[in-house]
Amino acid sequence: MAATEKDQEAIEVAKTLDNIPWCEDYEKMISGMLYNSLAPELVESRFKARRFMHQFNNYFPEDATPDSLTAYREGLLRKQLGRVGTEPFIEPPFSIDYGCNTIIGDRFYSNFNLVILDCGLVKIGHRVMFGPYVSIFAATHEVEVQSRRDYIEYAGSVVIGDDCWIGGNVTIMPGVTIGKGCTIGAGSVVTRSIPDFSVAIGSPAKVVKKVAPVEDLPGSF
């Protein structure tokens, strides 16, 4: 269910990010309220994201080296995403709704075909690894038909803690928090939050075991 008032904490976080399309509907969007997805500022921001995707996913000159291509892609990430830590590595293709609402910690790795529909804030911690075809769906709709006819949507934030491993073909739904040190088994659909240091599998994902906790490292997410 959509929120009925603005989330001031989310708005304050957004003020620390880059590339934000500030407008009334943007504030509603990241607050989980109903908003108009055709607000001009949002349309332009999504258009900018598609330009980024084309560049990120298709640039591969004949004289490229592993180092030069990695540096080029990292530069694009820093220009498009809200905040990016050290040593990010995302295998193309990579798809986003906005990018500006996505925060990535240090040493993030994603295999091929990552999709982040970041209408809500998406926060990914340090030392997180994704398998191929991971999808983060922070965007959603009402089940009543008329609002969809009117281009009305809403969103929920997604948080993934430090030191997580998200298996291939995992789908993470709006409003979910995955605690630090978690493993999500391949093919799972995460519809509810997962506590720290858990292994969860299935659709919907359920905790099947716990793992030994480790101490936080300096600069933890």
Q: What's the pLDDT tens digit per position in 43-60?
A: 999 999 999 999 999 999
DSSP strands (E only) in the chain: 35-36, 83-84, 89-90, 94-96, 102-104, 109-110, 114-117, 122-124, 129-130, 135-137, 139-140, 152-155, 158-160, 165-166, 171-172, 177-178, 183-184, 189-190, 198-201, 206-210
Asked whether the CA dihedral 30, 35, 41, 43 is positive or negative, the reply is: positive
Instruction: Report d(CA 126, CA 33) in Å as an integer.
Output: 29
C-beta separation of 156 from 136 below 8 A = no
Token pair of 72, please? 């080029």
**Domains of the chain, start order:** 8-210 (2.160.10.10)
| pLDDT at residue 196 in the model | 97
- Do the beta carbons of residue 27 and residue 53 sit within 8 Å? no
Residue type present at position 33 = M
**Token duo for residue 97:** 């709704």
Q: 218 pLDDT band (50/70/90 cuts)?
A: confident
Q: Which amino acid is at 46?
A: R
Q: What mean pLDDT is reported for the chain?
A: 96
Q: How many CB atoms lie within 10 A of CB 215?
A: 5
Q: What number is the average pLDDT over the span 152-175?
A: 97
Residue 197 pLDDT grade (very low, low, confident, very high; cuts 50, 70, 90): very high
- Residues tagged active-site: 141
Residues near 196 by beta carbon (within 8 Å), at least 6 away in sequence = 161, 179, 180, 181, 182, 213
* Contact present, 81 and 99 (Cβ < 8 Å): yes
pLDDT tens by residue, 98-133: 999 999 999 999 999 999 999 999 999 999 999 999
1 CB-near residues (< 8 Å, 6+ apart):
none
* Distance separating alpha carbons of residues 121 and 101, to the nearest angstrom: 5
